[in-house]
Amino acid sequence: DAMVIQNPRYQVTQFGKPVTLSCSQTLNHNVMYWYQQKSSQAPKLLFHYYDKDFNNEADTPDNFQSRRPNTSFCFLDIRSPGLGDAAMYLCATSRGGAAYEQYFGPGTRLTVT
Amino acid sequence: AQSVTQLDSHVSVSEGTPVLLRCNYSSSYSPSLFWYVQHPNKGLQLLLKYTSAATLVKGINGFEAEFKKSETSFHLTKPSAHMSDAAEYFCVVTPSNDYKLSFGAGTTVTVRA
């Protein structure tokens, strides 16, 4: 089945130690998104790629970076994780028009020790 | 600009009784509207979407929603709740000139046996 895959599902990292989360899709969608979701909150958009064009949200900390080497893969890099970065990170894809829904991956639960 | 207000942060129903989740929106442009469901530690799953076609939208798992432009509402209903409906529900809007989602704060649904 076509889908959005996130690895790993659970990630533990140490305070200040760089970590990379990965997302892949078999839907061939133009747009890939990264969201941060903290407990009992709605997802918060960090950034997205429309094809190769990177779009950063104004309030996304510089500590968060992203790479999209090809259509299928997108990575979220946290350069120096702090305790406040512990959250669920969701990857999503869409075809890019307003009428198109986003397809979400299962998420990666990040713990910072 | 667009925004979404979910009028209930928590809804508790008995199994087999109707469920109503209320959502009001504001949007500068003709919006697309979505309801997503999120079970614990999972990604978001699309329940249904409205994109300027029929105002009564049927989704998966017996859910439906009605778009009422005059009331700027998009309430979600299900005639008979099942235990598996216990989850977090997000009402989401995107204007016709954009493809980024604006989330409501979410409604937690509890189903009593």
- C-beta separation of B19 from B66 below 8 A: no
User: B70 CB contacts (<8 Å, ≥6 apart)?
Assistant: none
pLDDT band at B28 (very low <50, low <70, confident <90, very high): confident
Residue A79 lies in a domain: yes
Residue listed under structure tokens 């604006």: B102
For residue B47, give how far its alpha carbon lies from the nearest alpha carbon of chain A (Å): 10
- In 3D space, the residue among A113, A110, A84, A89 whose CA is nearest the CA of residue A32 turns out to be A89
What pLDDT score was predicted for residue B67? 93
Q: Could you give the CA distance from residue A93 to residue A69 in angstroms, rounded to a whole number?
A: 15
Across the interface, of B43, B90, B97, the residue whose CB is closest to A42 is: B90
Residue A47 lies in a domain: yes
Q: Could you give the CA distance from residue B89 to residue A94 in angstroms, rounded to a whole number?
A: 20
Number of domains in chain B: 1
Contacts of B43 in chain A (CB under 8 A): 4, 6, 90, 104-107
Residue A81 lies in a domain: yes
CATH number of the domain to which B97 belongs: 2.60.40.10
The parent domain of residue A15 ranges over 4-108
The mean pLDDT value of chain B amounts to: 92
The parent domain of residue B83 ranges over 3-112
CATH number of the domain to which A80 belongs: 2.60.40.10
Write out the two tokens for B69: 């432009």
Question: Tell me: the pLDDT tens digits for A10-39?
Answer: 999 999 999 999 999 999 999 999 999 999
What pLDDT score was predicted for residue A1? 65
What pLDDT score was predicted for residue A33? 95
Q: Residue A49's CB: how many other CB atoms inside 10 A?
A: 19
Hey, CA dihedral for A100, A47, B90, A21, is it positive or negative? positive
- C-beta separation of A103 from A71 below 8 A: no
CA torsion angle B54 A93 B106 A78 (round to 10): -170
Identify any residues that bridge with B95 across adjacent strands, giving them in sequence order.
B31
Residue of B nearest to A106 (CA): B43
Write out the two tokens for B82: 């099942």
CA angle in degrees (0–180, nearest 5) for B51-A93-B33: 20
Number of domains in chain A: 1
Residue A40 lies in a domain: yes
Question: Tell me: the pLDDT tens digits for A68-109?
Answer: 999 999 999 999 999 999 999 999 999 987 778 899 999 999
A42 and B106 within 8 Å at the Cβ level: the answer is yes
Helix, strand and coil in chain A, % to nearest 5: 5, 50, 45
Residue A113 lies in a domain: no
